[in-house]
Structure 1
Amino acid sequence: MRALITGVTGQDGLYLSELLLSKGYEVYGLIRGQNNPKYELVEKTVPGVKLLTGDLTDFSSILRALSVAQPDEIYNLGAISFVAYSWENAQLTSDVTGKGVLNILEATRLWAGDDLDKVRFYQASSSEMFGKVQEVPQRESTLLWPRSPYGVAKVFGHYMTINYRESYGMHASSGILFNHESPRRGPEFVTRKVSLAVARIALGLQSEIVMGNLDSKRDWGFAGDYVEAMWRMLQQEHADDYVVATGETHSIRELLEVAFSEAGIAEWEHLVKQDPRFIRPAEVDLLIGDPAKARSVLGWEPKVGFEELVRMMVRSDLAEQKQLARL
C-alpha cells in the first residue's frame, strides 16, 4: 500500500507516518517550500517517509506529487491550523485550509481518471466547525456554526469533500477531530504553551504564564490515538464522516492544575496572569464530541486520558528544557 500525506510535518502527520510505516506502507509526505526548517524533523522522526515538495495552493505541484507517489490512500492534513493566526491572516487561511482541499480533491479526480475507485481520500475536518454549538454533545449531524476564519475554511473543505463523494462517487471521508494534543504539538497551541511554560517555571527559567479565558472548555485527546481513527476510516467499504473525540470536556483551569501538579507545584494561581489579548473575538466556549459512531462503526476507542496526556506533555518539556539549559 502507498500513502500520500499532506501536512506531514505536523504532529498528526508524524504520528500517522509512524502508524502507516508500521503497517508496511510506502509513505510519501508533501512538504512546502525550499529549505523548510521542518525537513530535518521529519527525516529524523520518520526516516522511512519519502518527502516531496509541493503546496496545497499550487495545483500543478499536487498533480506532480500524485504522479510520483501513486497513492492508494491520501490523507489531507495540511492546513494553517492555528485559530488565532487565522484572524490575522483570514485570506491566506481560506486559500490553504479551504481552497487547498478543493485543489487536492480535484487533482485526485483528474489524476485517477476513470479509475477513481483505486484511491481513498481522508479530509481532516475540525471541531472548530461547530463553533457556536447548537447541541451538546456535538455529533456528525450537528449544525455547523463556525466562529473563526479557520473554522469557516474547514467547513468549506468539509462540504467540498462530501460534494466530491456524492457527485463523483469518490471514497472520501472526513474526520471531525476534536482537540488532540501531544508532546509534538506546536508551542503556540494552548496545551503545549501550558506544558512548556510550567516546565520552565519549575526549572526557574520563567516566572509566569500569560493566558486568556481560563473557563473555556475543550474535549482533549491524544494525537497518537486519533491518527488510528483516520486510518480506520479509509479501510471501510463506504466513505463517511466521523466525529473523533473522547466525550469528556475539561477547562483551561483544569489543564493548568494537572500541569502544575506534574511539575510538583501545588500553589500555582499567582503564577498565571490573564490578558485580554489572548481572548478570541468570537469565543467558542464548550466543545465536547459524541464519538459513538466512530466507536460502533470503526471500533475505535481513545486509549490515553486527559490527565495522562497533560502529564506526558509536561514530562517531555521538563526533559527537553533541562537538556537545553544543561541543568
Structure 2
Amino acid sequence: MLPLWAPLWLDLQYSSPSLLLIVGLFFTVTTILSRLFVNRVAMERPSITVFDPKPSIAQDMNILRNPFTLILDDQQPREGQLENGVTIKITGDKPFRLTSYWGVNISKFHQSLKKDWSEMRQLIREGSFLAENCLQSSKPEEIEPPIGESITRHIVSENPITSEMLGTSPRACYPLIIILSINDDDSLDDQTTTIKDQLNKPSTSKGNGNNRKLKDEIVCLTSILHIRDDICPMDSNIITQLTKLRYGNVYNLQSLFTPGATVDETSKSVTVCVICQDATISRALLPCRHACICCECYGLIDKCPLCRSYIRSFFFIQQANQPEQSTESTAQSSDSSVDPTKPKPRKRFGFLSLW
C-alpha cells in the first residue's frame, strides 16, 4: 500500500524544476519560522540583563576634617624585621595620645573599636585597651604637637616578638596597630552627653548645626601596619587606616582619586571631565571614589571611565558650572509632567530591540 504522499512525489517527478524549487523554499521558510516561534515562546526571560538605572540624586555626604596623619618614614628601609621596629611621622592639630599594640587579635580588635568613645578613651588612659587581646602594648604617650610640623617616633616592642608568635599565613592577628586619640578634657563629658540626648530629638533650634559638628568629630585614627618577617616577607606598610567618630561609626579612611590636572591659559591648574574634556569635574563616583566626570557626562555612562566598575552612587565635590545648570533647567522646563527626581530612562540595545 502506497503512503499518502506517494502521488505527490510521483507528480513532482514529472513536474518542472521550478515547482520543486518553490516547494523546497516553502518547507525551508516554514521550518525557520516555526523554530523562531518555538524558541521565542519557550523563552521565559529575555537574554539581556537590564540593570537598574543609577541614582540621579547625589548621596548625602558630610565633610569631616581629620586632625591626624600618620605615614611611614621614607628614609627607613621597608624590609626591616620585627625586632627593628618602624619609624613613623605624625601630624596633629590638637593634643593627642599615642599608643601601640603588637600582635592584636583581628576579631577582638574590631569589636573593641566599636565601644562608646567615653569608655574607649578611659581604657586607653589606663593602658588596658586591647590588653587581653594583644601580645604587647605600650603606655599612652601624651603629645602636644607643634603647629604645622611633623613628629617622628620609632615604634619598637619592649620584648622581642618573633614571626612564630604572630602565627602562620593567613594570620588571625595584626602585627602592629598604632592609635592616635584626642586628649579631650573630662569636663566635656557632661556637655557632650547632653548633646547626644538632643541629637535623638527632632531638631528645632539653630544650635543643632554645632551639635552635629561635635557629633561627627573624628576622635581617633587607627593605623594597622604589616611588619616584614620570615613568614610574611612583604615589605612593611600600612594595611589600612580607620577613623572613629565621637558618637558615630568607624569608617575606613579612603582616598579620593582625581585625574591629572591640566593648565589653562591663565596658568592655573584645573581638572576637566575625562569624557568631554570641557566641563569642570563636579562628581565623585561611588564605590570607586574616582572624581573624573561632570554632571552632563554622568547621565551617559553606567561604568566609571577610569576603572570600569559599575556606578552605584555619587557625591558632589563642587557645584556644577552655570552652563550645566542652565541645560538641566531647560530640559526640566520642556516637560513639566516629568518628575525631576525620577531617574531618566536609558537607551538599551539588544537582539531585535531598541528602547
Q: Normalising TM by the smaller chain, what interval? A: under 0.3
Query: TM-score if structure 1 supplies the norm length?
Result: 0.22
Specify which structure has the higher proportion of strand.
Answer: 2
Please tell me whether Structure 1 or Structure 2 has the larger radius of gyration of its CA atoms.
2
Specify which structure has the higher proportion of helix.
Answer: 1
